[in-house]
Amino acid sequence: MRRAPVVLGSTAVGLVAILGFHTHGSTVSLVQPGGTSPAAGSQGSSTSQGSSSSASTGAGSLSSGTGPSGSVSGSSSTTPTTAASTAAARSAVGADEQTQYGAVQVKVTVVGSRITAIQTVQLSAFDPRSAQINAAAAPMLQQEALSAQSANINGVSGASYTSAAYIASLQSALDQLGFK
C-alpha cells in the first residue's frame, strides 16, 4: 500500500509555495497545512522541516533559489486550538532588505505556530513613485501572508507589485523565532 504523502486521515493538504519571478534568486516558500483539514489542523505544533520527510507530518516544504530560503508552516485555522490560547505571543524584527527602490523591514508576531500579525517597521523609497507603490503594496503583502492562513479568502487579486524583499525580511524574522 502506498504511503500517503499527507498526514493520515487528511484528504487534502494546502500548500503555499512562494517563489521569485522576475527576481534575482531570493526565494522562500510558505507552507500551510490544509486549513480546513481536521487532521492537519489538529497537529497544533510546529514540525521539523526539510525535504520530503515533512510530508508525513501534513506539511510539505518546497524551497528553491539561490537566495535565502526556508519554509514556514502554521497549523491553521478554522479551529483555533487550545495550544494557541495558552501560547505566548512572540515577535521578531526581520532583516533590513535593500531593493533597488528602497528598504523593507518587517516585524512578525506569532502565537504558537500561527502568524498573528505582520507590521512594516521600515519602508523607505528613493523616489515618490516608489514610496507610493510601497505604501500601497505593503499592506497587501501583509494581507497576502495572513490570508494564507485564513479560511475565508484564498488570495487577493490586485496590485502587481510585490516584493521579494518583503518576504525575505519576513522569513528572517520567522527564522529568529525558530518558527517552522
Partner 1 sequence: MGTVVSFDVRFAPALPEMPWVALARARAALRRADAVFSTWKENSPMSCLRRGELELSEAPEVVRDVLELCAEARRWSGGWFDPWAMPGGVDPTGLVKGWAAQKALGELVAAGVSGALVNAAGDIASHGGPEPGTAWRVGVQDPFAADRLACVVELTGAIATSGTYERGAHLVDPHTGRPAARLASASVCGPDLALADAMATALMVAGEGGVDLLADLPGYEAYLIRLDGSVRPTSGFPIVAGAGT
By the 8 A CB rule, do 136 and 159 touch?
A: yes
Among 53, 79, 159, 178, binds partner 1 (CB under 8 A): 159
Segment interacting with partner 1 (CB under 8 A) among 41-49, 80-88, 151-159, 171-179: 151-159
Written as one string, the DSSP assignment of 69-95 is --EEE---SSS--HHHHHSPEEEEE--
Nearer to partner 1, 9 or 178 (CB): 9
- Residue 128 within binding range of partner 1, rule CB under 8 A: no
Distances, alpha carbon 116 to alpha carbons 55, 84, 125, in Å: 24, 10, 27
- By CB under 8 A, the count of residues binding partner 1 is 59
Indicate the helix (H) or strand (E) that contains 139. Answer: helix 128-147
| Chain residues 103-122 in contact with partner 1, contact rule CB under 8 A | none
Footprint of partner 1 (CB under 8 A) = 2, 4-6, 10-23, 26, 30, 32, 34-36, 52, 55, 60, 62, 64, 99-100, 132-133, 135-140, 142-144, 147-148, 152-165, 167
